[in-house]
Structure 1
Amino acid sequence: MNGTRRGPRVVFWRHGQTSWNLEGRFQGSTDIPLTGTGVAQARRAARLLAALGPDAIIASDLRRAADTAAELAAVTGLPVSHHEGLRETYAGVWQGLTNDEIQRKYGEDYAAWRRGEPVRRGGGELETEVADRAVPVIQAAVAELPTDGTLVVVSHGGAIRTSLGRLLGLEPFHWESLGGLSNCCWSVLGRGGRGWRLLEHNAGTLPQTVIGDDT
Structure 2
Amino acid sequence: MPDKDAGTPRVFLYRHGQTEWSKSGRYTGVSELELTEDGVQQVLASGKMIVGSGKLIDPSNIAHVYISPRRRATQTFDIAFNDADKQSLKDAEKVSETDRLSEWNYGQYEGLLTREIRALRKEHGLDTERPWDIWRDGCESGESPEEVTDRIDNLIQEIRSIHRGNMHSENPCDIILVAHGHLLRAFTKRWLGYPMEFPLSLMLEPGAVGVLSYQHHSIDEPALLVGYGFPLQE
Of structures 1 and 2, the one with the larger relative CO (CA 8 A, separation 6+) is 2
For the residue of structure 1 that corresponds to 2:225, the secondary structure is strand
Report deviation, 1:19.
0.5
Equivalent-residue separation in structure 2 for 1:93 and 1:157 (angstroms): 19
Counterpart in the other structure of 1:103:
118
Equivalent-residue separation in structure 2 for 1:109 and 1:48 (angstroms): 44
For the residue of structure 2 that corresponds to 1:123, the secondary structure is coil
Out of 125, 134, 159, the residue aligned to residue 152 of structure 2 is: 134
Is residue 208 of structure 1 aligned with residue 226 of structure 2?
A: no
Q: 1:128 to 1:115 in 2, by over 3 A?
A: closer
Counterpart amino acid of residue 29 in structure 2: G
Report deviation, 1:127.
2.2
Gaps of 5+ in 2: none
- Does the CA contact (< 8 Å) of 1:65 and 1:154 recur in 2? yes
Counterpart amino acid of residue 122 in structure 1: E
Q: 1:4 to 1:24 in 2, by over 3 A?
A: closer
Counterpart in the other structure of 1:58:
66
For the residue of structure 1 that corresponds to 2:38, the secondary structure is helix
Counterpart in the other structure of 1:189:
212
Is residue 198 of structure 1 aligned with residue 186 of structure 2?
A: no
Counterpart in the other structure of 2:176:
152
Counterpart in the other structure of 2:200:
177
Counterpart amino acid of residue 164 in structure 1: T
Report deviation, 1:125.
0.7
Question: RMSD across aligned C-alpha pairs, in angstroms?
Answer: 2.7
Equivalent-residue separation in structure 2 for 1:103 and 1:3 (angstroms): 47
Task: List structure 1 runs of 4+ shifted beyond 3 angstroms.
Answer: 1-4, 107-113, 141-147
Equivalent-residue separation in structure 2 for 1:23 and 1:106 (angstroms): 21
Equivalent-residue separation in structure 1 for 2:193 and 2:152 (angstroms): 15
Report deviation, 1:133.
0.9
For the residue of structure 2 that corresponds to 1:197, the secondary structure is strand
Counterpart amino acid of residue 101 in structure 1: E
Larger gyration radius, structure 1 or structure 2: 2
Counterpart amino acid of residue 200 in structure 2: S
Identity of aligned pairs, percent?
28
Counterpart amino acid of residue 229 in structure 2: Q
Q: 1:170 to 1:97 in 2, by over 3 A?
A: same
Gaps of 5+ in 1: 202-206, 210-215
For the residue of structure 1 that corresponds to 2:210, the secondary structure is strand
Report deviation, 1:109.
4.5
